[in-house]
């Protein structure tokens, strides 16, 4: 476990003082980016760029347009980008441009609003099992299929 951000005494918004945690195990890396925005991403790129690369990323600030800058996405290069946001939330998270940025980077996007609970497992050999998407994998026959869920 490594806390990459914030440094002590960092001024700025509460979002940009969010904890960014890097978890490494079995040769894989999970990056929990909290609610950071572009300003904190720039600080991380300047101070910890080599530690940002991750297999799994909890997308910053629920996929807000104020985060996930192209430089940050390029540095992290996640295989899986997990967006934790409520369905039809009042902020419009995740922003379509942010999702497009992660898709363009080659990341598979997992959204709690669309997929419900998401489980990603890494075994002792570093193999990442296919993601479990609760709404999809445990859907009752009376639930609408994934492609019928409005964005």
Check: CB of residue 137 under 8 Å from CB of residue 118. no
pLDDT-based confidence at residue 10 (cuts at 50, 70, 90):
confident
Count of domains forming the chain: 1
Predicted pLDDT at 142: 67
Asked whether the predicted pLDDT for residue 15 surpasses 80, the reply is yes
Q: Which residue has the higher pLDDT, 36 or 10?
A: 36
**HEC sequence for 40-94:** HHHHHHHHHHHHHCCCEEECHHHHCCCCCCHHHHHHHCCCEEEECCCCCCCCCCC
Mean per-residue pLDDT, 65-89: 94
Mean of per-residue pLDDT scores for the chain:
91
pLDDT (tens digit per residue) in 99-143: 999 999 999 999 998 888 999 999 999 999 999 998 888 777 767
pLDDT cut 90: percent of the chain above it:
70
Mean per-residue pLDDT, 92-101: 92
Asked whether the predicted pLDDT for residue 35 surpasses 80, the reply is yes
Residues spanned by the domain of 44: 2-148
Q: Which residue has the higher pLDDT, 104 or 149?
A: 104
Mean per-residue pLDDT, 85-98: 86
What CATH number did the domain enclosing 68 receive?
3.60.15.10
Q: Which residues face 127 on adjacent strands? A: none
9 Ramachandran zone, left/alpha/beta (phi>0; psi -120 to 50)? left
Asked whether the predicted pLDDT for residue 96 surpasses 90, the reply is yes
Which is it for strands 118-119 and 28-32: parallel, antiparallel or unpaired? Answer: unpaired
């Amino acid at each position: 476990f490594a806390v990459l951000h914030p440094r002590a005494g960092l001024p700025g918004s509460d979002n940009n003082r969010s904890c960014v945690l890097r978890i490494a195990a079995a040769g894989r890396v999970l990056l929990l980016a909290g609610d950071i925005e572009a300003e904190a991403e720039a600080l991380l790129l300047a101070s910890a760029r080599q530690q940002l690369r991750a297999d799994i990323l909890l997308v910053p600030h629920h996929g807000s347009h104020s985060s996930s800058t192209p430089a940050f996405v390029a540095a992290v290069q996640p295989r899986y980008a997990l967006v934790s946001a409520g369905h039809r939330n009042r902020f419009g998270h995740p922003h379509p441009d942010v999702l497009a940025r992660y898709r363009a980077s080659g990341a598979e996007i997992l959204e709690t609003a669309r997929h419900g609970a998401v489980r990603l497992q890494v075994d002792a050999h570093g193999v990442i099992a296919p993601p479990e998407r609760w709404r999809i994998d445990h859907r009752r026959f009376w639930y609408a299929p994934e492609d019928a869920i409005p964005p």
